Amino acid sequence: MSPTSSHRADGMSSKYDVLVIGGGNAALCAAISARRGGASVLVLEGAPKFYRGGNTRHTRNMRCAHDAATEILTGPYTEDEFWEDLLRVTGGQTDEVLARHMIRESKDILNWIVEQGVRWQPSLGGTLSLGRTNSFFLGGGRAMLNALYLTAERLGVDVEYDAEVTDLVIEDGMFLAARLKRPINGETEIRAISLVAAAGGFEANIEWLKQYWGEAADNFLIRGTPYNRGSILKMLLDKGVQEVGDPTQCHAVAIDARAPKFDGGIITRHDSVVFGIVVNKHAQRFYDEGEDIWPKRYAIWGRLVAAQPDQIAYIIFDSTVVTSFMPTLFPPIAGQTVAELARKLELDPAALEKTVTEFNAAVLSGTFDHTILDDCRTEGITPPKTHWARKIETPPYLAYPVRPGITFTYLGTRVNKEARMLMADGKPSGNMFAAGEIMAGNVLGKGYAAGMGMTIGSVFGRIAGREAAKHARN
C-alpha cells in the first residue's frame, strides 16, 4: 500500500496510515507488524544508514519465556520464573500487569521474530549461563537488524534515514503530524493516522544527563550511537504524555576508560571484577567485588563507578588470572610491582600498596570456583570480598581503568497493555503508541536482566504496530 497522498521526495506533505519514529528493533517490529496488519508505513530513522537501529546494533540476545527446551535453548524458562527474575532485579519497581503481559507475549516472539527473517543461535562462548534463558541472534544485533530491514522493505515499508524529526503536532492527545528536517529536501510535514514512537532513550544527550547527574555526566561513556538524544521522548513529555521512571535509572556497566566517548559497544566491557579488587582514584576499595555471579553482577558496576570521585575506578589483579576471562580489546596496564602499577595508573603508590597488602592479609583460604558462590572470602576488611577472594601477589600486577558506560536510560512515556501512551491526565491517547527503550521504564524501574531491552522492544513493538494499524483501519 502506498501513502494515501503523495509523496516523499517532493517536499510536500505526505500521509501514511502509520508513522514509526525510530529505527531499532522496536521500531522495525512495529513497522512490520503494522504493515502486516494492512497499513501503509513510514519509518523515520534519525541516524545515517550505517548507524541505523540505535542500541539494537550492539545487542546480541533476547530473553523470552518458553515452556520447553528448543534447538538453541537448553531448558524451559517459564513465565513465572521470568517474572520472579524481573521482580528481583527491579526490586519490585515494575508494573506487574504490563510486565506479565510482556512475559506472556514474549513466548510467541521466539517464533514471530524468526518469521521476520531473524536467525537464532545457541549462546555465545563465554555466556553459557544464559544458555537456558536467552536466545542469541546469529551474527549479533546488526545481523538481526539487517534481517528486519530486509523484511520491512520487502513488505513495502518506506524507510528514510538521516530523518530528523524537529517537532510533533499533538492536539488533545491525538497525533496529527511530524515536522521533519531532511538533509536534502529541507523541512517538511508528515501526517499519519497513528504514531509509533520507538526512538530510544536519551543516554547520548549529555546535557540532559547532567540535569540529574551534574558534572559527573561528563565522565560517562555512552555505549551506543551519538544519535540516542531523546528528542522524541522530550517532545512527547512536553506535549502532555505521562512520564514514567526515575530519570537517573539506566543500564550502566563498567567499561574500559580508554573506550571512545560513543559507540564502543560490547567490546569495551570488563568482566574481570570478580578476579581481583576494584579501587577508586584514592586507591581505596569501595564495594564487595565478590557479591554475585555474572551476569547478575555485571549491570551494577556502572552505577558503582559513577558514584566514585571523578567517575573512575581500576580493576586490579595479577598475572595468575589473565586467562580466566575473555580477551579484552584494550590490554591491561602492567607493573612489576604494585607501586610501579600505581605510578602508571597515576595512583598514590603507597596507598595502593597498603590496600593490596591489607586485602591479601584478609584473604582466607578456600576452594576457588568462579562458577558458583565459592568459599574464598576475606575477613576483617571493609568492604569484604565475600566470594572468589584470592591474594594478589604474582607479578606482573595488572589493571584495567574503568568508567561508567551508559547503555540506555529508563525515563519514558507511560503506556498500557496496547502499548498506547497515557496522557498526563491518565487517559489513553487516541492514536499514539510507544515501544522499546522509550517506554522501558514501565517495566524496568531499576536494575536489569540480560536481554530484557530486546524483549521490551520486540514485544511492545509488535503490539504497537498491530494496534496502530488497527486504529488506522477504523
Contacting positions for another protein (CB under 8 A): 50, 57-58, 60, 119, 121-122, 124-126, 136-143, 146-147, 150, 260, 263, 265-267, 323, 326-329
Give me the least distance between CB of 258 and another protein, in Å please: 13
β-pairing, 14-21 vs 186-197, is parallel
Comparing CB distances to another protein, the nearer of 122 and 131 is: 122
Query: CA–CA separation, 152 vs 23, rounded Å?
Result: 11
Q: Tell me how crowded residue 323 is: count the other CB atoms within 10 A of its CB.
A: 8
Comparing CB distances to another protein, the nearer of 355 and 407 is: 407
- Written as nine digits, the cell of 301 is 558496576
Q: Which residues contact 213 (CB under 8 A, 6 or more apart)?
A: 220, 248, 306
- 3-state DSSP of 191-245: EEEEEEECCCCCCCCHHHHHHHHHHHHHHCEECCCCCCCCHHHHHHHHCCECEEC
Q: Tell me how crowded residue 376 is: count the other CB atoms within 10 A of its CB.
A: 20
Residue 452 carries which side chain, given as an amino acid letter?
A: M
- Binning the chain into helix, strand and coil, the percentages to the nearest 5 are 35, 25, 40
Comparing CB distances to another protein, the nearer of 56 and 429 is: 56
Comparing CB distances to another protein, the nearer of 100 and 269 is: 269
Give me the least distance between CB of 60 and another protein, in Å please: 6
Q: Could you give the 3-state DSSP secondary structure of residue 313?
A: strand
- Residue in the structure block whose three cell numbers are 491518565: 426
Q: Tell me how crowded residue 334 is: count the other CB atoms within 10 A of its CB.
A: 15
Q: Could you give the 3-state DSSP secondary structure of residue 99?
A: helix
Q: Classify burial at 174, counting beta carbons within 10 Å of its beta carbon; exposed 0-12, middle 13-18, buried 19 or more.
A: middle
Comparing CB distances to another protein, the nearer of 143 and 351 is: 143
Query: CA–CA separation, 208 vs 309, rounded Å?
Result: 21
Compute and round to an integer the Cα radius of gyration of the chain: 23
Give me the least distance between CB of 151 and another protein, in Å please: 12
Strand intervals (E) in 221-358? 221-222, 243-244, 250-256, 277-279, 313-318, 333-335
Give me the least distance between CB of 408 and another protein, in Å please: 15
Query: CA–CA separation, 320 vs 300, rounded Å?
Result: 25
Q: Classify burial at 365, counting beta carbons within 10 Å of its beta carbon; exposed 0-12, middle 13-18, buried 19 or more.
A: exposed
Q: Classify burial at 116, counting beta carbons within 10 Å of its beta carbon; exposed 0-12, middle 13-18, buried 19 or more.
A: buried
Query: CA–CA separation, 192 vs 194, rounded Å?
Result: 6
User: What's the DSSP call for residue 378?
Assistant: B
Q: Tell me how crowded residue 327 is: count the other CB atoms within 10 A of its CB.
A: 9
Comparing CB distances to another protein, the nearer of 49 and 473 is: 49
